[in-house]
Amino acid sequence: MKVITRFAPSPTGYLHVGGARTALFSYLYARHHGGQFELRIEDTDTERSTQESVDAIFAGMDWLGLEYDSEVNYQSKNLERYQEKIEQLLANGQAYYCDCSKEILDEMREQQMKNGEKPRYDGRSRELGLTKTDQTVVRFKTPLTGEVKFKDHVRGEITVANSELDDLVIARADGMPTYNFTVVIDDADMGITHVIRGDDHINNTPRQINIYQALGMPVPEFAHVPMILGDDGARLSKRHGAVSVMQYKDDGYLPEAVLNYLVRLGWSHGDQELFNKEEMIDLFDLSGVNKAPSAFNTTKLNWINQQYLQQADKSRLVTLLQDRLKTLNISVDHDFDLSAVVKMFIDRAQTVNELADMGLFLLQPLSGYDEKAEKKAFKESAIEPLKAVIAKCEAINDWAGADLHQMIADVVTELEVGFGKVGMPVRLALSGQAQGPANDVIMQVLGKDESIVRLKNALQYIEAKLN
Ligand code: GLU
């Protein structure tokens, strides 16, 4: 049997982390088994579905590299097919028209709650033989006895008595079919063998299985993946930070890192943390999916991203850095070698955005000096060392070939002071910060002219401060 899976998002927002993980698991399962992975846009809710959301789903899947095999299926283009199947159920007496108004349903509900019963449609129109009006919905005749049994790949065996299920609406009064119906028709027509989805749908599954059986369509296998929690244990939501996949792109994460993070969110393979796509495909199986919900952990995501950043091709990082600087509206001098920034900070940055932030002082004139460091380092005693370093810098002709580390060491020796007395004010003058890369490395990247300008600016600043 050829495995066919699908991702079936409703286009009512961006592609969020939970959706992307479901898509990834479906994708990996199909690829692992040499099968097919399909995308279906569930856009029958015309009020909530938007083209913008459809585009956001495409963008997210594209960025993560979750390629699907056939043309995208749109439910909104399949209405005739649903209608045909609804007619079939009606003709076979497996569905019926119901004209219960909202008031009647509310009353029914209230009464049941009062009696301590589970609120449900009581089937009062089931045998009335009503005909269609613009007020009638179509309800599916759920079997009155028996049970639905299925073996969920994550949850194990699940059994639900039909007496627990009521006659669900499969078409609204305006004729629009409902989710539980359309999903069955499409999964059957698309030949889906494994439905992998969030466990918020687990209560729908027995209802859907009854519909498959009524239509004589093959029932797929199911895997319901536990939800994702925020680090505080509540269901992951916007207030936990970025939940849109594309936000991670904007925040400077690499797609392969996000993919790696997502696969570990609810799936494990021994203690292994890092998986490239080939390994994921090779190793993924539903048996490795955890039953318990998984918590989103930004620290871990950052760690994974850092691992991928360090392995990434340097020219790719330069391009990403350029994009980030463009977003920040920072123009870079043509001669400036951004790979120097990458080299300087790649061991410390966890995201491309951090890389840009760390390198910003090299690309823009300094906006000021770190306050605490300035109090310590920009004193009378800094004047002589700065003047000495400036004089030595001015005397250098071949800047690229110069040993700038030795140059500073010479000043230290000549002035007979500790290294910090020279190093600290120079670093602050060059970078505005108390900590960072070595002074000679900074000067090499800044070039002779800019280094001297910054040293002179600092000198002026100190002298003005002392007067
Ligand atoms: N369209 C449904 C949703 O976005 C998913 C349906 C399914 O996977 O069966 O929640």
Residue 162, pLDDT score:
97
The pLDDT value recorded for residue 243 is 83
Asked if residue 264 has its Cβ within 6 Å of ligand 1, the reply is no
Last residue of a domain, one of 251, 278, 299: 299
The Å distance, Cα 87 to ligand 1 centre, comes to: 24
| Residue 306 covered by a domain | no
Distance in Å, CA 40 to ligand 1 centroid: 9
Ligand 1 pocket residue status of 10, Cβ below 6 Å: yes
Per-run averaged pLDDT (10 residues), the chain, 467 residues: 96 93 98 98 93 96 97 97 98 97 95 93 95 97 97 98 96 96 98 97 97 98 94 82 88 98 95 96 96 92 98 97 96 87 95 97 94 96 98 97 97 96 97 95 96 98 94
Amino acid at 379: K
Are 16 and 245 spatial neighbours (Cβ–Cβ below 8 Å)? yes
Which residues 6+ apart lie within 8 Å of 185 measured at CB? 78, 81, 82, 85, 215
> Cα(8) to centroid of ligand 1, in Å?
5
Same domain, 220 and 243: no
pTM of the model: 0.92
State the total domains in the chain. Answer: 4
Q: What is the pLDDT of residues 115-137, one digit of tens each?
A: 999 999 999 999 999 999 999 99
456 and 401 both lie in a single domain: yes
Choose one of 254, 271, 299: the last residue of a domain. 299
- Is the residue at 307 inside a domain? no
Rounded alpha-carbon distances, angstroms, from residue 424 to 197, 304, 402, 421, 434: 57, 34, 21, 6, 7
Instruction: Report pLDDT for 368.
Output: 95
* CA atoms of 357 and 328, how far apart (whole Å): 10
CATH code of 38's domain: 3.40.50.620
CATH assignment at residue 330 = 1.10.8
Question: Do residues 144 and 10 both lie within one domain?
Answer: no
Domain that holds residue 318: 312-363
